[in-house]
Structure 1
């Protein structure tokens, strides 16, 4: 376990270092001057130069990066160039909203994928299996934005059951809060359930073809007992891995869903900050997202190491 922690800790540091490099230098290649955008249309060149100097944009990129990464190590992600709020404060407001949407979406994906995966394995190559595979292919193929717009048109504009978007604080209206959650949760849940189903089905089929499963069946163990006691237990590490991976992808892909449904999470914040060239906010949001994703995958690896002793020695 200690070896796993040390290896994953080293990987975490390297991943965050390269993420910081990529997001810092790539974002500065985008067209547009933050100082000029902040001052509005046709500002005086002297005012632009003075603001660039105040914001530190006149210094070489290497110097800017060194200052920024030094502040990050001390826990300071900077301030928004436009409203002056600390980036940590902005992220602390947005991250819980994104996590709420991601957690509900992941739970819905698991609720859909696991029963269908088990039924597909128990009825391999039957109409149940083929139907489930068709639906998983549908989930793989459709873009999130297309499904989001389709659900919005149907439930919000056609039959008027649910709001088209927006965010309602739970303290203001619990029912309004959960109504606003339904459509984005269905969107991310359906998309991610397809991937979990495919990996779960293939993992269970791989386990079910092994010798110890045939031995259990030869002893007269019922099919449901074989699935519950042997197949599911041995397929659990791969299920945990794919759920963690999908949760990570879900977090990183939340930008589109949050934008469509006007859900004010980290994805929504990143889009607004990119459009306004708010460097520190985008850098802080991407770096924080990378930290969360790496930690989620680290947690999944540790759980798998506990479940499967063979992993401890890798």
Structure 2
């Protein structure tokens, strides 16, 4: 297990290093001068040049990258180029909002996908299996923005049950906070449950067809013990992998969902910062997203190694 952990940590640092290279140099290829955008329409060339020097954008890109990495290692993610706020302060405000939405959306997707997946597996090619597959095809096919708008039109504008969007602090109004969460959480949960269902069903069907399952049934082991003890445990690694992947992607920023429902999370912050060419904010947001992704996948790999000794030994 220690050897596996060492290997995964090495891969983690290599991934983060390449992420810093890609986000830093790719973002600077985008058109638009941050200094000019900050000064507004038709600024004086002298003012643009002075602000460019002040922001450190006059130095060679490799020097800018080195300075940024040195600051990140010291825990300094920089300041916003437009409002002067520390990036850590902005992230501390946005990340909990995205985390809350991602956790609730992931839990809802698991609550939908796991029962459907088990029932579809136990009743292969029955009407239950066909209904579940139609639902998963629906979740795979529809765009997230279309489902979000559909739910908004139905529950906010037609029935007037829920707010169409916006954020309400829990301390300000617990009921308002929960109502504002419903539509984005349902959108995320439905979209992601389709992927989890497909992986779980295919994984369980693969395990059920193996010889040791037939042997357990031949010995008279009850069906529920076969499914719960043997099939579920052996299908668990694929389920954990897809759940971890979906959750890490949710944490990295649900850009579309947050934009539609005006949820001020990490995805919303990234879009606003990209549009305004706020380099430090975008770089820090992408880097934090990458850290979330690699750590969550590392945890998933360690859990899978614990569940399946073959992974650990290999």
1:230 corresponds in structure 2 to 230
Structure 2 Cα separation of the partners of residues 71 and 205 of structure 1: 50
Deviation at 1:221, TM superposition (A): 2.0
CA–CA separation in structure 1 for the residues paired with 2:155 and 2:23: 38
CA RMSD of aligned residues (A): 0.9
Following the alignment from structure 1 to structure 2, what is the Cα–Cα distance between the partners of residues 62 and 234? 48
Higher mean C-alpha displacement, 251-260 vs 162-171: 251-260
Aligned length: 314
Could you list the per-position Cα deviations for residues 153-193 of structure 1 after superposition, in whole angstroms to 9, with x for gaps in the alignment?
Answer: 11111111000001100001100000000000000100000
Matched with 1:168 is 168
Deviation at residue 74 of structure 1 after TM alignment: 1.2
1:8 aligns with 2:8: yes
Matched, 1:267 2:283: no
Cα distance, 1:95 vs. partner? 0.6
CA-to-aligned-CA distance 1:141-160 (integer Å, 9 cap, x gap): 11111111111111111111
SS at match of 2:42: coil
Aligned equivalents of 2:84, 2:138: Cα separation in 1: 45
Structure 2 unaligned blocks of 5 or more: none
* Contact 2:254 2:267 survives alignment (8 Å): yes
The aligned residue for residue 212 of structure 1 is 212
Contact kept, 8 Å, 1:192 with 1:250, in 2: the verdict is: no
Within 1, Cα distance between the matches of 2:98 and 2:302?
A: 24
Counterpart of 1:19? 19
- 8 Å CA contact 1:109–1:196 kept in 2: the answer is yes
Q: How does 1:244-255 map to 2 (within 5 A)?
A: 244-252=244-252, 254-255=254-255
1:304 Cα deviation from its structure 2 partner:
1.2
1:148 is matched with: 148
Q: What secondary structure does 2:128 align onto?
A: helix
Aligned ranges 1:98-247 → 2 under 5 Å: 98-247=98-247
In structure 2, do the counterparts of structure 1 residues 280 and 253 end up closer, same or farther at CA, with 3 Å as the change threshold? closer
Q: Distance in 1 between matches of 2:9 and 2:236?
A: 24
Distance in 1, matches of 2:19 and 2:187, equals 28
TM-score (normalizing by structure 1): 0.98
Partners of 1:192 and 1:251 in 2: CA distance: 13
After superposition, give the CA deviation of every residue in 1:248-305 in whole Å (9 maximum; x if it has no partner).
2223350111111010110010011111110000000000000011000001111111
Per the alignment, residue 277 of structure 2 pairs with 277
Quick one: structure 1 residues 104 and 284, their matched pair in 2 at CA, closer, same or farther if it must change by over 3 Å? same
Q: Indicate the residue corresponding to 2:256 in structure 1.
A: 256
Q: Structure 1: any 5+ residue segments left out of the alignment?
A: none
8 Å Cα contact 2:145/2:260 also seen in 1: yes
Q: Calculate the TM-score normalised by the size of structure 2.
A: 0.98
Residues 6 and 91 from structure 1, CA distance in 2 versus in 1: closer, same or farther, beyond 3 angstroms?
Answer: same
CA–CA distance in 2 between the matches of 1:249 and 1:280?
A: 21
Contact map agreement 1:24 1:283 (CA 8 A) in 2: yes
Partner SS for 2:168: coil
Show the counterpart of 2:51.
51
Residues 289-298 or 230-239, more deviating = 230-239
Structure 1 residues 56-108: Cα deviation after superposition (integer angstroms, max 9, x where no partner): 11111111111111111111111100111111111111111000000000000
Match of 2:309 in 1: 309
Q: What displacement does 1:28 show?
A: 0.7
Once the two structures are TM-superposed, the CA of residue 215 in structure 1 deviates from its matched residue by: 0.9
